[in-house]
Structure 1
Amino acid sequence: MVIENILLGIAIHQLFWEHLPHWGTWFTRGLRMLPHPLQSLYEQWRCPYCAGFWIGLGVHAATGNYLFDGFADMPVFWGSFGTPLAWFLDALVFAALNKLGVLTVHAIGLPALKGHQAKEAFLAAKKAA
């Protein structure tokens, strides 16, 4: 398994759906300038599985790496349909693992955020005393 592909997919998802919309107005202004169908796609692809499928295809195209090496060696009877099928199956598995990764990051993030807030409150109370 090429773990780098999954980490890249999680990072791309986090960047486009969790962080860029909150980094000033330039990103959301740019989204509003897109044609309505593309704006709709962005809104519909908030799901880490749905977006993960397309991110998986893009990561595979950019790196040339299959998530699992077994997809590179499709059975001969698939013929010329084997390569597109391998890309499709690779993206499906990528999407499932991408969703798991994003959900894991969110699950870890909440306790970390609460701990950070508690520490800041403690330090502020200590400073005020």
Structure 2
Amino acid sequence: MTFSLVLMGLTIHVLVWEKLPDWGTWFTKLIERLPAPLAYLYSAWHCPYCFGFWIALALQLLTGVYTLPELAALTETFALAGTIMAMSLDALVTALLIMVGSLTLRALALPAIKGFELTQTFKASMSQAQSTQEQQHDNT
């Protein structure tokens, strides 16, 4: 098993649906100007599984890499029909792994963000307490 397609697909998913929309208004305006069918695909493919399937097929065609290289044997056995079966099955597996990766990133992000916020709050309160102590010291 190789995770190349999974990592590429997950990276593209995070970039397109989680990062680019936060990088100013240009990306949102670009999506709004797309023809209706493409704008629909953007909203419909927000799901990491749906997106994962289609990006896996595209990446397979571009790179020739499979998540499960053993499926390539179907081409030898069933010719073109085997290639279609192999690519479809591999894309389904890749999509599942992209979805699991996306869910894992989200699960890890919440405690990380909460921990960061608590640390910032603690540092701010320590800074404020130190300032208060310095002011009291100066007044005496």
TM-score of the aligned structures, taking structure 1 as reference length: 0.94
Residue 22 of structure 1 deviates from its aligned partner by 1.1
Task: Look up the equivalent residue of 2:128 and give its one-letter code.
Answer: A
Task: Look up the equivalent residue of 2:41 and give its one-letter code.
Answer: L
Unaligned runs of 5+ in 2: 130-140
Aligned to 2:25: 25
Distance of aligned partners of 1:7 and 1:77 in 2 relative to their CA distance in 1, 3 Å threshold: closer
Q: Match of 1:51, SS?
A: helix
Aligned to 2:48: 48
Unaligned runs of 5+ in 1: none
> Does residue 133 of structure 2 align to residue 99 of structure 1?
no
Structure (1 or 2) with the larger CA radius of gyration: 2
Aligned to 2:69: 69
* Alpha-carbon separation, structure 2, partners of 1:49 and 1:7: 14
Instruction: List, as ranges, runs of 4+ consecutive aligned residues in structure 1 with deviation greater than 4 Å.
Output: none
* Alpha-carbon separation, structure 2, partners of 1:59 and 1:79: 21
Percent of paired sites with the same residue: 45
Residue 128 of structure 1 deviates from its aligned partner by 1.1
* Number of positions where the alignment pairs a residue of Structure 1 with one of Structure 2: 129
Q: Match of 2:99, SS?
A: helix
Aligned to 1:128: 128
Superposition CA RMSD, Å: 1.2
Aligned to 2:59: 59
* Alpha-carbon separation, structure 2, partners of 1:37 and 1:75: 33
Task: Look up the equivalent residue of 2:36 and give its one-letter code.
Answer: H
